[in-house]
Amino acid sequence: MGFNFKKLDIPEVVLITPDCFTDERGQFMELFKLSAFAECGIEKPFVQINHSSSAKNILRGLHFQNSPKSQAKLVNVINGEIFDVAVDLRKDSASYGKWVGERLTSDNRRMLYIPEGFAHGFCVLSDKAEVVYQCSNEYSKEHESGILWSDPLININWPLKNPILSVKDANLPNLKDIF
């Protein structure tokens, strides 16, 4: 068993595809293995695991936590399909304000590693989706923040036009207004 690690256009964000063993009984795969991830340079320990269940056209995000409670995330879809997005918030980065996005599904089994210093969000493309993500820091209300999903300077090419948003997410500021 193993993993395929693919660095994206923002190379610190990594698309991960685990090997999957399938037979007449079903399938088996590893979702995380410390030694394999460390070989790829992913060495943040995960200390919290979250589970989100959402209906079609729900958009969650773009969320992040400020330092010293910044979070790296490992995002996995256990049922359904999402479009998962990471936005670079590292001011000293050449890709500051840029984004990458990937379709993650329970069928393609791909996962997205998003390091600290990035905002994260996703929209649901299937009738329902269940997302499990591991975090490198525990949730901290006093450090939470976010950016509006439709920020024109970031210009994310979401695969839906009229998402369903929480009141909180609908009222998040643009990137230029928080940094």
Closest by CA position to 63, among listed 153, 146, 142, 154:
146
Task: Identify which of 103, 108, 113, 110 has the alpha carbon closest to the alpha carbon of residue 10.
Answer: 113
Catalytic residue among 51, 120, 133, 143: 133
Give the neighbor-by-neighbor strand order of the sheet with 118-124.
Answer: 99-105, 81-88, 118-124, 59-65, 144-146
In 3D, which of 132, 125, 144, 19 has the Cα closest to residue 73?
132
Residue 120 appears among annotated catalytic residues: no
Active site residue: 51, 63, 96, 113, which one?
A: 63
Residues identified as active-site: 63, 133
